[in-house]
Amino acid sequence: MSTISTALRNFKEPTKEQVTQNFFSLPPEADEAVEKMDINAVLSLGAEGEEDSYAGKLYLMAPYLAFSSLDKKSVRFTLPLSTVRRVERLNARAGIYALSLALWHGGKIIVQLTSLRPTADLFCALLRDALKIELQRGRMKSVKGFVKTCYSEVLITTSAPVPGDEKDEPSASEASESSYHGGLGLRFKFPGDPKKLREASKIKLWTTYLKTHGRNLTLLRYPQCTRLVQVGLPNRLRGEMWETLSGSLFLRYSNPGLYEEMLEQNKGRTTTSTEDIEKDLHRSLPEYAGYQSEEGINALRRVLRAYSFKNPELVIVRRSGSLKSSAIVYYLDTTRSSTPAHPTASTYASAFIAHPCTELSFDQRVFESLVQRCLPIIHDHFTAVDVQLSVASLPWFLSLFINSMPMVFAFRIVDCFFCMGPKVLFQVGSAILKINGEKLLQIQDDGGFLNLMRDYFASLGESAHPHSTDPRARAITRFQELLLVSFREFSVITDDLILSERKRFRNEIIHSIETFSKRSAVRNLRSLGRFTKDQAGLVYDALYQAMCVIPPPPAQLPPASLLSEGVEEKPETRIQLRTFQYFLSEIATWARDEKIVSNGFQQRIDRDVAEHEFIDRLFFFWDTSCSGALSFQDLVSGLDGVMFNDLMENIEWFFNLHDKNKDGFLTKDEVLTVSESFLFIFRFEVGDAYLGAVSRFMTNAFEYGDALLADSEESKETVQDDEPRSPLPIPSNQPYLNLATFRMVVLADEILESFFETDLSASFRLDPVAELELPASNSGLLGDFWSTIATDTNKKMFNMFTDEIGKTIGKHQVVHRPSIGRYKHLEEPKARESLLTPGMRHFCIQIDSATLPASSPSSSPSLTVKVPSPPAAKGLKEPVSAVGYSPMVQAANAALLARPAFTIDDSKDEDEEAEDDIETGDNDDQVMDEVDAFLEAHDSGLTDADKEVAKDLIKAEPVK
Confidence grade of residue 509 (pLDDT, cut at 50, 70, 90): confident
Mean pLDDT check: name the lowest of 291-305, 438-452, 747-761.
Answer: 291-305
User: Given 509, 529, 549, which residue is the final one in a domain?
Assistant: 509
In a domain, 711, yes or no: no
Domain shared by 297 and 157, yes or no: yes
In a domain, 476, yes or no: yes
Question: What percentage of residues in the chain have a pLDDT greater than 70?
Answer: 71
Domain shared by 170 and 297, yes or no: yes
Higher pLDDT, 95 or 390: 390
Cβ neighbour number for residue 11 with a 10 Å cutoff: 12
pLDDT digits (tens, 9 = 90+) for 912-942: 444 444 444 445 566 556 545 544 554 555 5
Q: How far is CA 80 from the centre of its chain?
A: 35
Is pLDDT at 781 greater than 80 in this prediction? no
Domain shared by 283 and 234, yes or no: yes
Within 588-646, where are the H helices?
A: 613-622, 632-643
User: CA nearest 872: which of 831, 908, 836?
Assistant: 836
Domain shared by 119 and 191, yes or no: no
Res 789: pLDDT = 62
Secondary structure (3-state) at 746: helix
Domain shared by 245 and 116, yes or no: no
Domain shared by 76 and 210, yes or no: no
Higher pLDDT, 66 or 900: 66
Res 816: pLDDT = 81
Q: Which residues of 403-432 are buried (b: 16+ CB within 10 A; e: fewer)?
A: ebbbbbbbbbbbbbbbbbbbbbbbbbbbbb
Higher pLDDT, 514 or 620: 620
CATH of the domain at 76: 2.30.29.30
Domain shared by 289 and 378, yes or no: no
Is pLDDT at 642 greater than 50 in this prediction? yes
Question: What percentage of residues in the chain have a pLDDT greater than 90?
Answer: 38
Res 743: pLDDT = 92
Is pLDDT at 910 greater than 50 in this prediction? no
Is pLDDT at 650 greater than 60 in this prediction? yes
pLDDT digits (tens, 9 = 90+) for 24-53: 988 876 667 788 999 999 999 877 667 789
Domain shared by 563 and 497, yes or no: no
In a domain, 588, yes or no: yes
For residue 111, report the phi and psi dihedrals to the nearest 5 degrees.
Answer: -120, 120
Is pLDDT at 737 greater than 50 in this prediction? yes
Confidence grade of residue 543 (pLDDT, cut at 50, 70, 90): very high
Confidence grade of residue 59 (pLDDT, cut at 50, 70, 90): very high
Helix axes 235-246, 199-213, angle to 10 degrees: 40
In order of 289, 582, 854, 878, 901, the CA distances from 870 in angstroms are 97, 44, 16, 13, 12
Is pLDDT at 719 greater than 50 in this prediction? no
Cβ neighbour number for residue 874 with a 10 Å cutoff: 19
**Greatest mean pLDDT among 498-507, 545-554, 629-638, 829-838:** 629-638
Please state the rounded mean pLDDT for residues 184-200. Answer: 85
Confidence grade of residue 771 (pLDDT, cut at 50, 70, 90): low
Please state the rounded mean pLDDT for residues 513-525. Answer: 90
Domain shared by 252 and 119, yes or no: no
Confidence grade of residue 804 (pLDDT, cut at 50, 70, 90): confident
User: Given 347, 373, 394, which residue is the final one in a domain?
Assistant: 347
Confidence grade of residue 335 (pLDDT, cut at 50, 70, 90): very low
Please state the rounded mean pLDDT for residues 332-346. Answer: 41
Domain shared by 160 and 222, yes or no: yes
The beta-carbon contacts of 481-484 under 8 Å, at least 24 apart in sequence, are 481/435, 482/428, 482/431, 482/432, 482/435, 483/230, 483/412, 483/416, 483/428
User: Given 116, 145, 174, which residue is the final one in a domain?
Assistant: 145
pLDDT digits (tens, 9 = 90+) for 405-461: 998 999 999 999 999 999 999 999 999 999 999 999 999 999 999 999 999 999 999
Is pLDDT at 524 greater than 70 in this prediction? yes
Is pLDDT at 562 greater than 50 in this prediction? no
In a domain, 532, yes or no: no
**Greatest mean pLDDT among 241-250, 283-292, 567-576:** 241-250
How many Cα atoms are found within 13 Å in the side-chain-facing hemisphere of 632?
Answer: 32
Q: Which residues contact 172 (CB under 8 A, 6 or more apart)?
A: 187
Mean pLDDT check: name the lowest of 257-266, 855-864, 916-925.
Answer: 855-864
In a domain, 751, yes or no: no
Which structural domain, as residue segments, surrounds residue 495?
A: 362-509
Res 602: pLDDT = 78
Is pLDDT at 904 greater than 60 in this prediction? no
In a domain, 595, yes or no: yes
CATH of the domain at 549: 1.10.238
Residue 734 φ/ψ region, left for φ over 0, alpha for ψ in the -120 to 50 degree band, beta for the rest: beta
Domain shared by 136 and 154, yes or no: no
Domain shared by 334 and 381, yes or no: no
State how far the Cα of 238 lies from the Cα of 231, in Å rounded to an integer. Answer: 12
State how far the Cα of 781 lies from the Cα of 55, in Å rounded to an integer. Answer: 26
Higher pLDDT, 750 or 259: 750
Kindly list the strands in the beta sheet with 603-609, ordered across the sheet, starting from the edge strand earlier in the chain: 603-609, 592-598, 813-816
State how far the Cα of 326 lies from the Cα of 274, in Å rounded to an integer. Answer: 16
For residue 48, report the phi and psi dihedrals to the nearest 5 degrees.
Answer: -70, 135
State how far the Cα of 882 lies from the Cα of 890, in Å rounded to an integer. Answer: 9
Mean pLDDT check: name the lowest of 59-73, 98-112, 358-372.
Answer: 358-372
Is pLDDT at 783 greater than 90 in this prediction? no
**Greatest mean pLDDT among 640-649, 900-909, 914-923:** 640-649
pLDDT digits (tens, 9 = 90+) for 589-608: 999 998 888 887 777 888 88
In a domain, 739, yes or no: no
Res 850: pLDDT = 45
Cβ neighbour number for residue 943 with a 10 Å cutoff: 9
Confidence grade of residue 903 (pLDDT, cut at 50, 70, 90): very low
Into how many domains does the chain fold? 5
User: CA nearest 220: which of 9, 416, 68, 362?
Assistant: 68
In a domain, 957, yes or no: no
